[in-house]
Structure 1
Amino acid sequence: MKKLSYAVLKEQGYDGYLLESAPERVLQFGEGNFLRAFVDYFIDELNEKAGFNSKVVLCQPIAPDLDDRFNEQEGLYTLFLRGFQDGKKINKKRVISCVSRCLNPYKDFEAVLACADNPDLRFIACNTTEAGITYDSSCQFNDVPAGSYPGKLTQFMYRRFQKFGQEAGKGFIILSCELIEDNGKELEKCVLKYATQWNLGEDFINWIKTENIFCSTLVDRIVTGYPRTEAAAICEELGYEDNLIDTGEIFGFWVIEGPQSIKDEFPVDKANLPILITDNHKPYKQRKVRILNGAHTSFVLGAYLAGQDIVRDCMNDDVICGFMNKTIYDEIIPTLDLPKTELENFAAAVTERFKNPFIDHALLSISLNSTSKWKARVMPSLKKYVERKGTLPACITASFAFYIAFYNGYAMSEDVLTAKRAANEYTVKDDKAVLEFYLAHKDDSAADLVHAVCTNTSFWGEDLTQISGFEAVVCNYLTQIRENGAYEVMKALA
């Protein structure tokens, strides 16, 4: 079977959109599944629908030899976006043709730096994982390349400054997609630190600040990556070998914080894409964390105790799905400040995303580190609801009892806590201190356990018994869970 290429697609009579030649206007640090199913997908759509006419140069942020795989396929790969949308099962295929080549800075850093000499280059996209945006003072300007991603970016930007520093409009629009708070601003801080540490001059520092836009962004799409178990069958159906197949969910939403002038160069409105350019991305991040992530954290532990194992199956159970929807619509949405219609539309999309027939999202996988997740994703909704309504949100309060019941294990080994669901054992995974706390309280009464958890300020940053009535209601729910099971508690609330 022939490897995917433009010639093979022509032989097959492929009638989908392809862009074989265009200026390289985007440099992308990161060649992983997420960026290819998200950023490169959107750029491919911009090329087709808005005449963006741009190729993307991929640069590997770490050392593994993946560049050959991309270059052998001329940058082409097949993307499948799959899910449940508008009540229908969707499996949409697209050959992505916006990638021109892939460079490995550990093999040829000069080839990467040479991209800075290209006058057409305007955008830099990146996703170097949460650990990628870090300042490492051991990095030196003469390293080939610098060890950290911000170090490499500083070296690259200095090359650009040397070539075009006297021309306006030759800086970069930098789209940071790492999953950290204020990703763009944090990246800019690191670059400025290196510019200072390496004594690259005030003119360069001023150029960084005035000619470049570091955009913080929010990215939202579940990307499932290379379909290992399906790949052979998919290639047989496609009629070509593709070692870069990528898969993700249908839903996608990208919020870019920056001036509206970005639209003049990045014409997302013309392409009618789910990309929002705004002066503040944080309300949208809050919406995602509170509704999408908060829904996960507030129902999955109870759903697991109720006998379920997969998110999709929970959505087909009227009681569990009803509990989740009541949590979102009645208790979370009233705590948020975006327009109600926007929030409800997002919530409806969340339910469809959870029904995705192509993703077996295990509840136990989601349960990892639920203590910090509950604090970050659910507790803000609890406190805001109490502030606005003057009463406790029933489902959110019950979710705290589900959390305690799930963590109520009886034995610990190899940094996991063993607990039981009916006759079956399961493992709880969290920070060691969290697990040791629950082990120490394994024989507590419901009242003693709830009190111990609520007053553990190292978990929550505050004493939750200070929230009026919270301790007593959580204790009541935990007692009901122990006596009647989590499902009956959900049924009474749904």
Structure 2
Amino acid sequence: MQPLDSTTVHRTARPVTVLQMGGGNFLRGFVDWMIHVADEAGVMDAGVAVVHVTDRPDPAFELLRAQDGLFHVTLEGIKDGQPVREITRVECVQEAVAAHTEFERYRDLYLGADLRVLVSNTTEAGIVWVEDDDITARPPASFPLKVTALLHDRFEHFGGDPTKGLAIVPCELIEDNGSTLREYVLRHSAAAGLSEEFQQWVRECCTFSDTLVDRIVPGFPRDDIARIQTETGFDDQVVVKGEYFHVWAISGGEAVREVLPLDKAGLDVRFMEDITPFRAQKVRVLNGSHTALSAVGLQLGHESVREAFEDPTVRRFVDELVADEVLPTIDGEPEVLREFAAGILERFGNPFLHHRLADIALNAVSKWRTRNLPVYVDRVRAGESAPLTVLSLAAVLLLQSGAAAIPGFVPVDDAGALALLAGGPGAGEDGGAGDGADKAAVWVGRAVRGLDLAAGLDPVEADVLIARTAEMVESLTTEGARATLARVLAESTVG
């Protein structure tokens, strides 16, 4: 079997027009795959430079670099009612560079004259305001300040040339991702005392698109890698597996489409002025139910989405969560929304995908805040309850505390969240007097307030959420996940 690198594959050299902040499975199996398809179709001539944006080691990034940016994407799913499977060798990545250890090369790339687009996926925890970050660092620590610094450097390098602005297209699953990043860039610019001329250049010469991405990308196909390597003939160590289905909604209209004309290659990329209605449907139905499913499913001993979804109790939990609590919070024709949800949930049972629940649980706290909390808030505003959403919060908190003691599962989340949740109810400072319910109430209250999990609620409403979540945590701890789930479903039906 051949190694996969530039000595065994002779690819077309392309100008680096896209700077990709992040080199994880999703960006490679979604954005890079699309750019490769567009390159091959002749509608783009785009090379991608992948940037490792954190100072933490990343073995997968090093493997990608060892393969000179080459990798395969294998897609499986249902198309027109028939099973479909395809493998594509993606050849658009021209270079991979670590921003924190190879700053000068990283700088050369973002100052490139051909550069037109910046895409990113730093997860929901990436687009955040960090007050004490240093713009003079090489590079700054936070993602928004990294973008501020590189744009300012680019502005200075090209003397404020209006044609050297960038189309910034973040893929992070937060609401108004592009608008929020733009706000933080301008705030950082003002805080750092950068010139008004630069800030005007950012406003007028750079675009920040709100986006919505939709493709389930489980990542490296551990169970299928030998077959894929045999089929391709390459010892590819960074294969990405995903579903065939894909949609990318991008705000900004023709200005962005001009530099990223992916739809002209037959890809389902939709350029629109406002993605808000589309986003509400997708994030609340697909991503929100994924977050709930992963937290509950892991505590029931399931490993993958498909395995959990084949559990009748879990399937009922997800079905009722979506039908009774999520869909009523989304504007639109009920029948159209039901059809949309049915199509989404059908993808959970894709027989070709092994989407690990542990992977979905990465940064589960910030994901719940973004994906599930808005549903709860809207239900409260409508005078309705949301017991299954509350259960999902309890399951997330317990999961990320480590107290659920799931074999082989290690919580990965924001360091502050992990420290606050560590050990679960009764651990550390909560280990004093009081029964289990009291300890759960104290622990949940500190978590909900400390992690901003009641945003949008007034103090009384926040107290209600804390009390109900604490009851669920106590039940999960004493009765177990299956008994708790069965009881909550039964009570929900009666209600």
| Alignment partner of 1:168 is 2:162 | yes
| Alignment partner of 1:4 is 2:4 | yes
| Alignment partner of 1:24 is 2:21 | no
Correspondences of 1:250-329 after superposition (within 5 Å)? 250-296=244-290, 311-313=305-307, 315-316=309-310, 321=315, 324-325=318-319, 327-329=321-323
Name the counterpart of 1:44: 36
Name the counterpart of 2:94: 100
How far has the Cα of 1:349 moved from its partner?
A: 2.9
372 and 6 in structure 1: CA distance in 2 versus 1, 3 angstrom threshold? closer
How far has the Cα of 1:443 moved from its partner?
A: 7.3
Task: Classify the secondary structure of the residue corresponding to 2:172.
Answer: coil
127 and 118 in structure 1: CA distance in 2 versus 1, 3 angstrom threshold? same
Name the counterpart of 2:373: 376
Once residues 406 and 160 of structure 1 are traced to their aligned partners in structure 2, the CA distance between those partners, rounded to angstroms, is 45
How far has the Cα of 1:465 moved from its partner?
A: 12
Which runs of 5 or more residues in structure 1 are unaligned?
11-18, 421-425
1:128 aligned residue (119, 122, 128): 122
Q: TM-score by structure 2 length?
A: 0.72
Once residues 220 and 315 of structure 1 are traced to their aligned partners in structure 2, the CA distance between those partners, rounded to angstroms, is 19
Which residue identity does 1:489 align to in structure 2?
A
How far has the Cα of 1:43 moved from its partner?
A: 1.5
- Residue deviations 1:421-445 (CA, integer Å, cap 9, x gap): xxxxx9999946984599966579x
279 and 374 in structure 1: CA distance in 2 versus 1, 3 angstrom threshold? closer
Once residues 88 and 107 of structure 2 are traced to their aligned partners in structure 1, the CA distance between those partners, rounded to angstroms, is 31
Name the counterpart of 1:139: 134
Once residues 18 and 115 of structure 2 are traced to their aligned partners in structure 1, the CA distance between those partners, rounded to angstroms, is 6
Task: Classify the secondary structure of the residue corresponding to 1:101.
Answer: strand
Report the count of equivalent residues.
457
Check conservation: 1:50, 1:267, Cα contact below 8 A. no
Once residues 297 and 237 of structure 2 are traced to their aligned partners in structure 1, the CA distance between those partners, rounded to angstroms, is 37
How far has the Cα of 1:56 moved from its partner?
A: 0.7
| Stretch of structure 1 that moved more, 210-219 or 364-373 | 364-373
Task: Classify the secondary structure of the residue corresponding to 2:74.
Answer: strand
How far has the Cα of 1:122 moved from its partner?
A: 0.7
Name the counterpart of 1:13: none
- Residue deviations 1:63-92 (CA, integer Å, cap 9, x gap): 447666445433211112234565555443
2:214 aligned residue (211, 220, 240): 220
Q: TM-score by structure 1 length?
A: 0.72
How far has the Cα of 1:303 moved from its partner?
A: 7.6
How far has the Cα of 1:189 moved from its partner?
A: 3.3
Name the counterpart of 2:414: none
Q: Which has the larger radius of gyration?
A: 1
Once residues 372 and 149 of structure 1 are traced to their aligned partners in structure 2, the CA distance between those partners, rounded to angstroms, is 20
Once residues 373 and 57 of structure 1 are traced to their aligned partners in structure 2, the CA distance between those partners, rounded to angstroms, is 29
Check conservation: 2:116, 2:164, Cα contact below 8 A. yes
Check conservation: 1:416, 1:435, Cα contact below 8 A. no
Correspondences of 1:393-432 after superposition (within 5 Å)? 397=387, 399=388, 417=403, 431=421
- Residue deviations 1:344-387 (CA, integer Å, cap 9, x gap): 44313322221133225449986976986896154245346x56
Name the counterpart of 1:80: 74
Check conservation: 2:304, 2:354, Cα contact below 8 A. no
Once residues 320 and 225 of structure 1 are traced to their aligned partners in structure 2, the CA distance between those partners, rounded to angstroms, is 23
Once residues 291 and 20 of structure 2 are traced to their aligned partners in structure 1, the CA distance between those partners, rounded to angstroms, is 33
How far has the Cα of 1:485 moved from its partner?
A: 4.7
How far has the Cα of 1:24 moved from its partner?
A: 1.7
| Stretch of structure 1 that moved more, 195-204 or 311-320 | 311-320
Task: Classify the secondary structure of the residue corresponding to 1:269.
Answer: helix
Task: Classify the secondary structure of the residue corresponding to 2:270.
Answer: strand
Which runs of 5 or more residues in structure 2 are unaligned?
412-417
How far has the Cα of 1:321 moved from its partner?
A: 3.9
Which residue identity does 1:146 align to in structure 2?
P
Name the counterpart of 1:62: 54
Once residues 152 and 250 of structure 1 are traced to their aligned partners in structure 2, the CA distance between those partners, rounded to angstroms, is 33
Check conservation: 2:133, 2:140, Cα contact below 8 A. no
Task: Classify the secondary structure of the residue corresponding to 2:219.
Answer: coil
In percent, how many aligned pairs have the same letter? 28
Once residues 236 and 493 of structure 2 are traced to their aligned partners in structure 1, the CA distance between those partners, rounded to angstroms, is 51
Name the counterpart of 2:415: none
| Stretch of structure 1 that moved more, 362-371 or 102-111 | 362-371
Name the counterpart of 1:359: 354
Task: Classify the secondary structure of the residue corresponding to 1:189.
Answer: helix
Task: Classify the secondary structure of the residue corresponding to 1:100.
Answer: strand
What RMSD in Å do the two structures reach over aligned CA positions?
4.9
182 and 6 in structure 1: CA distance in 2 versus 1, 3 angstrom threshold? same
- Residue deviations 1:194-218 (CA, integer Å, cap 9, x gap): 4345444222222112111122322
432 and 201 in structure 1: CA distance in 2 versus 1, 3 angstrom threshold? same
| Stretch of structure 1 that moved more, 294-303 or 209-218 | 294-303
How far has the Cα of 1:144 moved from its partner?
A: 3.1
Name the counterpart of 1:336: 330
How far has the Cα of 1:98 moved from its partner?
A: 1.1
- Residue deviations 1:107-137 (CA, integer Å, cap 9, x gap): 4423222234433211011223344334454
